[in-house]
Structure 1
């Protein structure tokens, strides 16, 4: 079958002023008459990956991506001022209005899944459906799973965890780790600051997949300094502030999105976002479907995760078309 829109490169991109010191980069591609879908990247601070559009059929979707405050091509880079969850939720609605979209599908992975759920809870009338990957609910237990000595990563990768927390004064807790790294990131020594950014970045890299390609997560390897900077600084900033949401806020407010259809994709062996979070979300959200992907971790680079997401967007587009008939 011939594709109507074979080139899914950017058909439109630009910058959107927030009015409080930030400028957001966004891009739009795919079918201009297709189902609007907002892609929310993870991190916080990861930015848009070069191949994020591969999850969507460009004939069926109008694909919208933007880079959240402080990362990627958004400006000022690495800035933490006016950078909270509430600001990000306001940015999502600002972009929707700028593009004259009444309702869209929201697709988010990891921290992007958190934002997607919060955006739907905040303004459910603007969300047609949700597609989530690697669910992170922002609770203490979710932060601990990633950072604390009793978490999944520390228990499965003790030798890597020891490197990650080697300079953190005891007792080592999630809060102590965040406080230590925030201090390191703000230090005057370029060498010490870059070393701390790398330790945080490599910790996440090592947890991201079940099978790491050669060289991935190697502490001696070279990584892009901008990506290390935004991911480490923003992720630590948000985790230190409990993601700027009340404990259990998402599960306590799921009644607001009970009517919205959603698909949840989660790797069985996700060491960054615990599988139980995806299961608890599914049990509390009656219009959701849950797919636990075997032999997969957190990353969209794992074949099982990528396939499940492509299938989810395909099935959701069919469901939406049927609903319109």
Structure 2
């Protein structure tokens, strides 16, 4: 990772909570230039929460940078880790509505969308619903929640590349339930026993940490195995993925025609084992005003060689 591919660290100049209904309060922040070009950063997961480092993808003199914690994640309340949380009002379309509410609350007419992995899913769902509110889109490691994509990572596809890590992933699941790891893990991470659900959440999370970078790195495994991160990450991801993210299969690529004239850049690692590049390629073909930048030195991790430089080039080109 080249640190000069990131702008210097900055702190928010404004933050708060927005009541979006259903008992939810969404935490948000702004940094950079208050009079600059608005951009909203959509974090991954679902459930990862705000990462302050993502402010550094943007020239702080040129951009008004908005970050927010999606429902159930980060500092937003109620938190997915709390017992008895009602998840019926935490869906993709609730998040899309939250983004519109936040845009209105902040007095923004149009904004750039920036998201990777699950953040790319949410960016596409929002843009295809509110194209008139989008100036540009920058995506990384594209995920659209199709069943084929979920099958790849959670039903044995990536296991062909990472067999030993897959064995560890399956270990918490009783043998008779291993035909559907998504359903089995959903039951485990919502088990009444705290120790059971924490062990399962860590195993679920570590699987992604083990395969996220082009060259496996222990620091990713360590970060993904931290209980505070793993429980939120696993619970929200499984809540979304066992419901196909409330999307028709293939919907986001099918409806890319709703993005005419919206310029976009797709930054994709060619050896991404979490979100293989065929999805990014199919999206690019369907979204005629997009540019696809396939990186031959990268997997899924934003820190893999070449990714940060391409993201900075994209945001600089739109500033």
TM-score by length of 2: 0.92
Task: Name the CA distance, whole Å, in 2 between partners of 1:223 and 1:144.
Answer: 23
**C-alpha distance in structure 1 between counterparts of 2:9 and 2:202, whole Å:** 36
Q: Is the 8 A contact 2:297 2:305 kept in 1?
A: no
Whole-Å separation in 2 of the counterparts to 1:54 and 1:294? 23
Q: 1:156 aligns with which of 153, 161, 179?
A: 161
Query: Equivalent residue for 1:195?
Result: 199
Q: Is the 8 A contact 2:38 2:66 kept in 1?
A: yes
The alpha-carbon distance between structure 1 residues 187 and 139, as it changes in their structure 2 partners (threshold 3 A), is same
Equivalent residue in structure 1 for 2:10, among 8, 20, 29: 8
**Could you tell me whether the CA contact under 8 Å between 2:297 and 2:304 is conserved in 1?**
no
Does 125-134 or 204-213 show the bigger shift? 204-213
Show the counterpart of 1:46.
48
Structure 1 distance, partners of 2:53, 2:244, is 30
Q: What is the RMSD computed on CA atoms of the aligned residues?
A: 1.7
Q: Distance in 2 between matches of 1:172 and 1:6?
A: 46
Relative to structure 1, the CA distance from residue 135 to residue 171 in structure 2 (aligned partners, 3 Å threshold; closer, same or farther) is: same
Q: Following superposition of structure 1 onto structure 2, how do residues 273-292 of structure 1 map, counting pairs within 5 Å?
A: 273-292=275-294
1:251 is paired with a residue whose SS is helix
Contact map agreement 2:153 2:274 (CA 8 A) in 1:
yes
The answer to whether residue 125 in structure 2 is matched with residue 118 in structure 1 is yes
Q: Residue in 1 aligned with 2:25?
A: 23
Q: Report the equivalent of 2:305.
A: 303
Q: Return 5+ residue gaps in structure 1 as ranges.
A: 318-325
**CA displacement, residues 151-189 of structure 1 (integer Å, 9 cap, x when unaligned):** 1x211001110111122444644xx21211111112122
The CA distance in 2 between the partners of 1:227 and 1:254, in whole Å, is 32
Q: 2:275 and 2:56 mapped to 1: Cα distance?
A: 23
Moved more, 188-197 or 22-31: 188-197
Q: How many residues align?
A: 307
Please name the residue that 2:4 is paired with. none
Contact 1:168 1:177 in 2 (8 A): no
Unaligned runs of 5+ in 2: 1-6
**SS of residue in 2 equivalent to 1:94:** helix
Out of 196, 202, 208, the residue aligned to residue 204 of structure 1 is: 208
CA contact (8 A) 2:206 2:225 kept: no
Deviations 1:65-86 (A, max 9, x none): 0000111111111143411001
Q: State how far apart, in whole Å, the 2-side matches of 1:144 and 1:186 are.
A: 21
Distance 2:177 2:120 in 1: 31
